[in-house]
């Protein structure tokens, strides 16, 4: 067993006295105003003096008092990413990979813009927390109809962009499109092309645009091809088990189902389990496709056909779009992002 060593308490962190522009002015032999103008590239300062002041400031290790600067300019240089669902949920983190891939890329993009990225979890009481949160902008991920976050943020004067189109009739906010219409077409055309004629849809119950639009495309596709409509909705908060249960219901309704489109990857894992238990071979008896190309799709046996969502690129675009809007540049209300492509794997193609 671990025996915690008898380490003495580490010394409290002590910050050295912070240098001020007075120190720089003294060392450079110029006025405070000159230092301020030189360092901020404002007002008129002789170019040689400006260069000398900057050099001396750097040599001394002077850093501007950002808090004072931010108070003056009203800018916080912080943006937040909001999660539209709890992360630590029963049955495992169903959308965690998807959201965390976005967060990881966004935090890097934010840093390149000298913005801090604050992570805001969806706890009860988040609105009180909002009052204490000093941010210029926020990114929300696939907002659902009636999510209270967006109005709460806008009421506080915070710029908001979303990844994934907000479902109507939510007020328009700038967004990075996930191209769900194109994605859904890819799924159904691929399954149809592989010979599937009894294609079921197992979709998330939350009223997000991607769920609503996938169902719309599915119904239109089925009507166009004269295929039966077989739909089940499941709660993402429950995760894999909800996917397995919904798949069992679909099999009970129509034992001849030959494909299941399961956009939520946690549901796809549950679907694979339910199909296996029911003695259906994937892909021979039933083909399966999903959306997020995470560990669940890649490490499944067989691996599951998924979509390249270019999440990293979309996360970077979201930070850039948010930055534009914070700076008052509101030209772009929507950016389509790269077109989705299918990553075809053994779950949907008979070798």
Q: Which is nearer to its own copies, 71 or 350 (CB)?
A: 71
> Which stretches within the chain are classed as H helix?
21-28, 32-40, 47-60, 66-73, 96-112, 126-131, 149-155, 180-193, 209-225, 240-253, 265-277, 295-299, 311-326
Residue 4 interacting with its own copies (CB under 8 A):
yes
Q: Which of 143, 167, 174, 239 binds its own copies (CB under 8 A)?
A: 174
Span interacting with its own copies, options 34-42, 152-160, 197-205, 252-260, rule CB under 8 A: 152-160
- Counting beta carbons within 10 angstroms of the beta carbon of residue 22, is it exposed (0 to 12), middle (13 to 18) or buried (19 or more)? exposed
Q: Which is nearer to its own copies, 18 or 228 (CB)?
A: 18
333 sits near its own copies (criterion: CB under 8 A) = yes
From residue 177 to residue 216, what is the string marking binding to its own copies with x (rule CB under 8 A)? Answer: x-xxxx--x-------------------------------
Asked whether 163 and 309 are in contact (CB, 8 A), the reply is no
Three-class DSSP category at 229 = coil
Take residue 239 and report the two structure tokens written for it.
Answer: 């995760």
Q: Decide if residue 13 touches its own copies (CB under 8 A).
A: yes
Question: Taking contact as CB under 8 A, which single stretch among the options 14-22, 29-37, 39-47, 256-264 is the one that binds its own copies?
Answer: 14-22
CB nearer its own copies, residue 159 or residue 259: 159
Positions 263 through 292 that interact with its own copies (CB under 8 A)? 269
> Which residues ranging from 68 to 97 are in contact with its own copies (CB under 8 A)?
68, 70-71, 76-78, 80, 87-88, 92-93, 96-97
Q: Cα torsion at 258, 263, 264, 267 (round to 10°)?
A: 0
Please tell me whether residue 169 binds its own copies under the rule CB under 8 A. no
Please tell me whether residue 23 binds its own copies under the rule CB under 8 A. no
Query: What single DSSP character describes residue 157?
Result: T
| Longest CA span, the chain | 87
What Rg value do the Cα atoms of the chain yield, rounded?
26
41 binds its own copies (CB under 8 A): no
Residue span 54-73 as binding mask against its own copies, x where in contact by CB under 8 A, dash where not: ---------x--xxx-xx--
CB 254 within 8 A of CB 279: no
């Amino acid at each position: 067993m671990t025996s915690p060593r008898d380490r003495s308490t580490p010394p409290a962190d002590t910050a050295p006295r912070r240098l001020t522009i007075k120190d720089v002015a003294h060392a450079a032999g110029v006025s405070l105003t000159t230092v301020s103008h030189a360092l901020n590239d404002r007002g008129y300062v002789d170019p040689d003096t400006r260069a000398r002041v900057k050099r001396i400031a750097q040599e001394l290790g002077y850093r501007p008092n950002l808090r004072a600067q931010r108070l003056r300019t009203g800018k916080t240089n912080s943006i937040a990413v909001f999660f539209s669902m709890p992360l630590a949920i029963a049955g495992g983190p169903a959308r965690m990979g998807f959201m965390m891939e976005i967060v990881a890329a966004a935090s890097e993009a934010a840093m390149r813009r000298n913005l801090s990225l604050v992570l805001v979890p969806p706890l009860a009481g988040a609105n009180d927390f909002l009052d204490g949160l000093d941010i210029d902008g926020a990114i929300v991920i696939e907002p659902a109809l009636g999510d209270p976050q967006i109005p709460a943020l806008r009421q506080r004067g915070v710029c908001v962009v979303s990844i994934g189109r907000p479902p109507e009739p939510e007020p328009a906010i700038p967004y990075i499109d996930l191209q769900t219409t194109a994605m859904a077409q890819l799924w159904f055309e691929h399954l149809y092309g592989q010979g599937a004629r009894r294609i079921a849809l197992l979709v998330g119950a939350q009223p997000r645009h991607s769920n609503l639009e996938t169902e719309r495309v599915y119904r239109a596709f089925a009507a166009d091809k004269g295929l039966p409509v077989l739909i089940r909705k499941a709660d993402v908060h429950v995760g894999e088990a909800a996917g397995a249960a919904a798949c069992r219901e679909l099999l009970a309704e129509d034992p001849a189902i030959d494909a299941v489109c399961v956009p939520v990857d946690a549901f796809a894992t549950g679907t694979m389990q339910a199909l296996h238990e029911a003695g259906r071979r994937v892909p021979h008896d039933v083909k399966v496709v999903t959306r997020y190309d995470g560990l669940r799709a890649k490490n499944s046996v067989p691996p599951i056909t998924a979509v390249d969502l270019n999440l990293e690129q979309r996360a970077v675009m979201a930070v850039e779009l948010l930055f534009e809007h914070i700076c008052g540049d509101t030209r772009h209300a929507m950016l389509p992002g790269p077109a989705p492509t299918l990553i075809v794997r053994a779950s949907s193609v008979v070798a």
